C-alpha cells in the first residue's frame, strides 16, 4: 500500500513538471517548423536514452553542450535556450526513472552553503515572478502587462528575464547534483565527450571565419566575430579556455600527445572569436596550472618553462598576424589605448555605469537584493532615481523613444549582490571558494582548480555563468573537486536560518517598496496593459485589446461614453461577453460598472454615469470572454490575439445611447428596446413627463425584472415587473426645469430572443415608449 502511495506521489510530481516544461516550451521556444523538426528529435533522443541508459543519456547531453546553442541561428532565429531545453529533457527523464523505478536522480553536495545558495536562488525566482505578475493569482485575476520600469518595460519582459536567468543558474546547480551520483571515472569520460563537442565547434569557427558567417547571429556578423557552434563568441572563447588546463594535464600527466594539435586548434579558434575574456582566461588558467605543476620537481619545472615559452611565442604569433577581419590583437590594442587615455567607460563597455547601479541596488536592498533576474529590469529605475543616465518621461517611451542602455552588471559577484543580496552572495562565495581552496590544499585535480580559479577572476568582468554552455562546463569541472562527506548539524541550522531570513526579508520588500504598485506611485507611471497599437476608424483613433486590457483616464465629467467593437468572424454563433470595471487604484478596488454581450460586428456606444469619480484620474479595465487570431482563422498576416476594439471616449452626450430602432406594437404604441442600460439627454421643458415601459423576458413571472430610472445619477423611480403588460411611468421634473439633464434607464438583467427560437440576436432590456 505504501509503495502504491509513493509511486502515485512521485508520478504526480513528474506530471506537474512535465506540464510546466510544456508551458515553458510554448511560451519561450520559437515554434518554427523547420527548427522544431531538428530540436524535437534531439530532445526525445536524450529523454529515451537517459530513461533506458542513464549514463549514455548524460554523455550525449554533455557532448551537445558546446554545439547545440547555435541551432536557432541556422534558421535565422534569435537565440533560444536549446542547451537548457536539452538539460530539462535529461532531468525529466531522470525523474521519470525515479517515479517508475525509485532510482534517486541526484544528490546535493555536502559542501557548506550549497543548499543555501540553491534554495535562495529558487525562492528569489518565485517571489520575483510573483512580484512582476502583481502576485497572481493571490492579488490579481491574471498576469497583465503592467509597466514595471521607467522605460516602459512590461511585466512579460521582466518575467522572461527572471525565469531565464534563474533557471539557467539553478539548472547548473542541479546538473552538479546529478553528477554527484556518478564516480570520478565517469566524470573524466564526460569531459572527453565535452572536449569532442568543443573541438567540432572550434573547427566550425574556422569554417565560419574563412567561408562565410554561417550559423552566426546577425549582431556578431556585424562585428566580424565567429562563435563556432556556441551561443556567442564569448561563450566559445571561455569554453575553450576552460579546457586548456585539462589538455595540458593529459600531455604532462597522462603522457598523451593528441592534445597538442587540439591546443593549437583551440587557441586559433579563440583568436578568431575575438574574446578578450577567453584570452585572459587562457593566460590565468595556464599560469595557475603551471604554478601547481612546478611543485613536482625540476624535470617538471624544465617542461613547464619550455611549454610556457612555446605558448608565449604562439600567442605572440597569432597577435602579429594581419587578419584584419578577425584580429583579436586589434581589440587588445584598442583596449590598451583606451586605458592610456583614461576612457574607462568605453574600455569597460559601459560597465562602470552598470556597476554604479548595481552598488546602489545593493545599498537600497542589502539583505535580499532586487530579485534574481531583476537587475536588468530595475536598471532604468535606478538610472532615473539617482540621475545616472537621462530617462525621459514614460510617455516618450510609449511613443517609441529608444530604450536606455541595459545589460547584466558585467560582474558575477556584483550581480549576485544586487539580485540576491548579501545573504545570497555570501552563500555562493562560501560554497564556491570552500570547494576551490579545499581542492588546492588537498591537491585534487589541479587542472580543474586552474580552470575554475581563472573563471573566478574573469567573472570580475563578466556574468559568464549566465551562458548555458559555459555554466554546464563550469559545474562539470567543479564536480572533480567535490568529495562526499557529511555536513555538520551546525552548518545545516545556519543554512536553514539563512534561507528563512532571506525569504522573510525579500517577501517583505517585494510586497512593499519593490512592488509594482509602490514603484508606480514612486515614479508616477501611467499604467496600461493589453492594448495594441493605435489605428483609425470613422470617429478617430482606436485600439484592439487582448483578452484583458486597462488604461487610465481623467473623468472631467461624471458621464462618459466608450465605443466598443467586436470583429470575431463567428460572433453571431459565439457572442463575446465584455465586463467593464473602474477603480481609482489600478491594482485594487475594482468595481464593475458594465456587463454586456456583443452578438454582431460593428461599433457600439456604451454610456456611464459615475458621479463619485468625476474630477479624478481613474483606471478602466476590460475583460473579454474570448479572443480570435486573424492569422490562424483567416490566414491574414496578423498574429495578434484580438479581443475587442476600444474607440473614442466622449465626456459630452449629445445623442441617446443604448436604444435599438423604433418599433410599433399591435396596439399602435411606438417604442424601442433598450440594452442593459440606456441614456437620454434632454433640456427639461415640462414639469411632468410620462412614458410607457414593458418587458418581454419569458421567465419574468418566476424571475421579476427590476427597472431603475435615474436623473443625473439619482434614482427617481424603481419598478419591479413580472409580466408583459405596459406600465406608465410619470416623473416630476419641477426641480429640473430649464436644465439639461441625463435620464438613465437600466434593467437588472437582459434576455436574448435567439436562444428561444427567434431570429433576433439583440440583448433586450426594457421597451420604452415615447416621452410626453
- What is the Cβ-side half-sphere exposure of residue 703, based on CA atoms within 13 angstroms? 9
Q: pLDDT tens for residues 182-203?
A: 998 999 999 999 999 999 999 9
pLDDT over 90 for what percent of the chain?
55
Distances, alpha carbon 560 to alpha carbons 656, 714, 744, in Å? 13, 16, 13
Q: Is 252 helix (H, G, I), strand (E, B) or coil?
A: helix
Q: Is 109 helix (H, G, I), strand (E, B) or coil?
A: coil
Would you say residue 301 has pLDDT above 80?
A: no
Measured CA to CA, the distance from residue 567 to residue 598 in angstroms comes to 10
pLDDT over 70 for what percent of the chain?
92
Q: What is the pLDDT of residue 5?
A: 76
Task: Say if strands 714-721 and 727-732 run parallel, antiparallel, or are unpaired.
Answer: unpaired
Q: pLDDT tens for residues 570-592?
A: 998 899 999 999 999 999 889 99
Q: What is the pLDDT of residue 434?
A: 93
Angle at 413 between CA 410 and CA 416, to 5 degrees: 95
With a CB cutoff of 8 Å and minimum separation 6, the contacts of 621 are: 548, 549, 550, 580, 581, 582, 583, 586, 590
Quote the mean pLDDT of the chain.
88
Mean pLDDT score, 622-630: 95
Q: pLDDT tens for residues 207-253?
A: 988 887 888 877 777 777 888 899 888 899 999 999 999 998 888 77
Whether 660 contacts 672, CB under 8 Å: yes
Which range, 98-107, 291-300, 309-318, 376-385, has the best average confidence (pLDDT)?
376-385
Q: What is the pLDDT of residue 320?
A: 45
Mean pLDDT score, 735-756: 89
Would you say residue 335 has pLDDT above 80?
A: no
Q: Pull the grid cell for residue 220.
A: 556578431
Q: Pull the grid cell for residue 449.
A: 582548480
Measured CA to CA, the distance from residue 146 to residue 155 in angstroms comes to 5
Q: What is the pLDDT of residue 218?
A: 77
Measured CA to CA, the distance from residue 645 to residue 762 in angstroms comes to 19
Measured CA to CA, the distance from residue 322 to residue 374 in angstroms comes to 42
Distance of CA 566 to the CA centre of its chain: 30
Whether 678 contacts 745, CB under 8 Å: yes
With a CB cutoff of 8 Å and minimum separation 6, the contacts of 494 are: none
Helix/strand/coil (H/E/C) assignment for every residue in 273-323: HCCHHHHHHHHHHHHHHHHHHHHHCHHHHHHHHHHHHHHHHHHHHHHHCCC
Q: pLDDT tens for residues 389-400?
A: 889 888 888 888
Domain annotation for the chain: domains and CATH numbers: 110-181+368-512 (no CATH), 527-650 (2.60.120), 657-769 (2.60.120.260)
Mean pLDDT score, 512-535: 94
Q: pLDDT tens for residues 543-558?
A: 999 999 999 999 988 8
Distance of CA 751 to the CA centre of its chain: 43
Q: What is the pLDDT of residue 338?
A: 56
| Long-range CB pairs of 135-139, under 8 A, 24+ apart, other chains included | 135/511, 139/587, 139/588
Task: Say if strands 528-537 and 540-554 run parallel, antiparallel, or are unpaired.
Answer: antiparallel
Q: What is the pLDDT of residue 137?
A: 87
Q: Pull the grid cell for residue 21.
A: 516544461
Mean pLDDT score, 254-278: 85
Q: pLDDT tens for residues 25-56?
A: 988 898 889 999 999 999 999 999 999 999 99
Whether 695 contacts 745, CB under 8 Å: no
Would you say residue 304 has pLDDT above 70?
A: no
Q: What is the pLDDT of residue 325?
A: 47
Q: pLDDT tens for residues 670-687?
A: 999 998 899 999 898 888
Measured CA to CA, the distance from residue 284 to residue 189 in angstroms comes to 25
Measured CA to CA, the distance from residue 92 to residue 86 in angstroms comes to 10
* DSSP, res 660: E
Residue 330: which pLDDT band, with cuts at 50, 70 and 90? low
The Cα diameter of the chain in Å comes to 120
Amino acid at each position: 500500500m505504501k509503495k502504491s502511495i509513493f509511486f502515485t506521489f512521485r508520478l504526480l510530481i513528474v506530471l506537474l513538471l512535465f506540464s510546466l516544461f510544456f508551458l515553458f516550451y510554448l511560451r519561450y521556444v520559437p515554434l518554427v517548423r523547420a527548427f522544431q523538426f531538428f530540436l524535437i528529435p534531439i530532445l526525445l533522443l536524450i529523454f529515451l536514452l537517459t530513461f533506458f541508459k542513464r549514463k549514455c543519456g548524460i554523455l550525449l547531453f554533455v557532448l551537445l553542450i558546446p554545439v547545440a546553442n547555435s541551432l536557432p541561428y541556422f534558421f535565422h532565429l534569435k537565440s533560444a535556450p536549446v542547451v537548457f531545453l536539452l538539460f530539462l529533457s535529461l532531468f525529466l527523464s531522470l525523474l521519470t526513472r525515479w517515479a517508475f523505478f525509485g532510482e534517486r536522480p541526484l544528490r546535493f553536495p555536502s559542501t557548506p552553503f550549497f543548499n543555501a545558495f540553491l534554495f535562495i536562488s529558487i525562492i528569489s525566482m518565485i517571489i520575483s515572478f510573483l512580484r512582476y505578475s502583481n502576485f497572481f493569482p493571490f492579488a490579481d485575476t491574471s498576469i497583465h502587462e503592467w509597466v514595471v520600469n521607467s522605460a516602459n518595460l512590461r511585466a512579460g519582459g521582466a518575467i522572461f528575464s527572471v525565469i531565464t536567468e534563474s533557471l539557467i543558474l539553478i539548472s547548473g546547480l542541479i546538473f552538479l547534483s546529478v553528477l554527484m551520483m556518478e564516480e570520478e571515472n565517469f566524470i573524466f569520460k564526460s569531459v572527453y565527450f565535452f572536449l569532442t563537442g568543443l573541438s567540432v565547434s572550434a573547427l566550425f569557427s574556422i569554417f565560419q571565419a574563412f567561408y562565410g558567417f554561417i550559423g552566426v547571429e546577425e549582431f556578431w556578423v556585424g562585428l566580424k566575430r565567429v562563435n563556432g557552434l556556441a551561443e556567442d563568441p564569448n561563450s566559445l572563447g571561455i569554453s575553450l579556455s576552460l579546457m586548456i588546463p585539462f589538455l595540458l594535464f593529459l600531455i604532462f600527466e597522462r603522457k598523451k600527445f593528441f592534445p597538442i594539435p587540439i591546443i593549437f586548434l583551440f587557441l586559433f579558434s579563440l583568436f578568431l572569436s575575438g574574446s578578450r575574456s577567453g584570452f585572459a582566461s587562457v593566460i590565468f588558467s595556464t599560469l595557475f596550472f603551471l604554478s601547481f605543476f612546478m611543485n613536482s620537481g625540476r624535470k617538471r619545472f624544465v617542461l613547464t618553462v619550455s611549454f610556457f615559452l612555446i605558448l608565449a611565442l604562439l600567442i605572440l604569433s597569432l597577435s602579429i598576424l594581419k587578419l584584419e577581419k578577425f584580429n583579436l590583437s586589434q581589440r587588445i590594442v584598442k583596449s590598451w589605448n583606451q586605458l592610456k587615455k583614461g576612457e574607462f567607460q568605453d574600455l569597460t563597455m559601459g560597465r562602470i555605469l552598470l556597476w554604479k547601479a548595481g552598488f546602489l541596488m545593493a545599498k537600497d536592498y542589502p539583505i535580499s537584493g532586487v530579485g534574481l533576474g531583476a537587475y536588468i529590469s530595475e536598471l532604468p529605475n535606478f538610472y532615473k532615481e539617482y540621475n545616472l543616465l537621462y530617462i525621459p518621461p514614460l510617455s516618450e517611451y510609449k511613443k517609441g523613444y529608444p530604450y536606455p542602455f541595459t545589460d547584466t552588471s558585467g560582474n558575477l559577484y556584483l550581480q549576485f549582490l544586487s539580485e540576491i543580496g548579501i545573504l545570497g552572495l555570501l552563500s555562493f562565495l562560501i560554497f564556491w571558494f570552500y570547494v576551490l581552496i579545499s581542492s588546492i590544499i588537498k591537491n585534487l585535480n589541479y587542472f580543474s582548480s586552474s580552470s575554475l580559479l581563472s573563471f573566478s577572476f574573469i567573472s570580475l568582468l563578466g556574468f559568464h555563468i549566465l551562458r548555458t554552455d559555459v555554466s554546464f562546463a563550469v559545474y562539470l569541472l567543479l564536480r572533480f573537486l567535490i568529495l562526499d562527506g557529511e555536513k555538520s548539524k551546525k552548518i545545516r541550522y545556519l543554512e536553514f536560518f539563512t534561507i528563512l531570513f532571506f525569504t522573510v526579508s525579500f517577501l517583505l520588500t517585494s510586497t512593499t517598496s519593490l512592488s509594482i504598485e509602490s514603484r508606480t506611485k514612486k515614479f508616477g507611471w501611467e499604467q496600461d496593459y493589453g492594448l495594441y497599437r493605435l489605428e483609425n476608424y470613422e470617429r478617430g483613433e482606436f485600439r484592439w485589446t487582448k483578452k484583458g486590457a486597462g488604461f487610465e483616464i481623467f473623468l472631467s465629467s461624471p458621464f462618459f461614453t466608450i465605443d466598443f467593437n467586436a470583429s470575431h468572424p463567428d460572433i453571431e454563433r459565439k457572442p463575446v461577453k465584455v465586463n467593464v470595471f473602474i477603480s481609482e487604484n489600478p491594482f485594487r478596488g475594482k468595481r464593475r460598472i458594465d456587463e454586456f454581450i456583443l452578438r454582431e460586428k460593428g461599433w457600439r456606444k456604451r454610456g456611464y454615469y459615475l458621479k463619485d469619480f468625476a474630477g479624478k484620474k481613474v483606471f478602466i479595465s476590460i475583460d473579454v470572454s474570448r479572443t480570435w487570431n486573424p492569422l490562424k482563422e483567416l490566414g491574414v498576416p496578423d498574429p495578434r490575439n484580438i479581443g475587442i476594439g476600444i474607440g473614442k471616449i466622449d465626456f459630452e452626450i449629445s445623442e441617446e445611447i443604448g436604444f435599438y430602432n423604433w418599433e410599433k406594437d399591435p396596439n399602435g404604441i411606438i417604442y424601442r428596446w433598450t440594452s442593459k442600460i440606456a441614456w437620454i439627454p434632454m433640456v427639461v421643458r415640462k414639469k411632468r413627463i410620462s412614458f410607457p415601459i414593458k418587458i418581454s423576458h419569458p421567465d419574468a413571472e418566476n424571475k421579476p425584472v427590476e427597472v431603475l430610472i435615474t436623473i443625473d445619477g439619482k434614482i427617481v423611480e424603481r419598478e419591479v415587473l413580472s409580466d408583459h403588460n405596459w406600465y406608465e411611468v410619470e416623473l416630476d421634473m419641477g426641480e429640473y426645469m430649464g436644465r439639461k439633464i441625463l435620464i438613465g434607464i437600466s434593467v437588472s438583467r437582459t434576455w436574448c430572443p435567439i436562444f428561444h427560437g427567434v431570429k433576433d440576436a439583440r440583448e433586450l432590456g426594457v421597451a420604452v415608449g415615447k416621452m410626453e
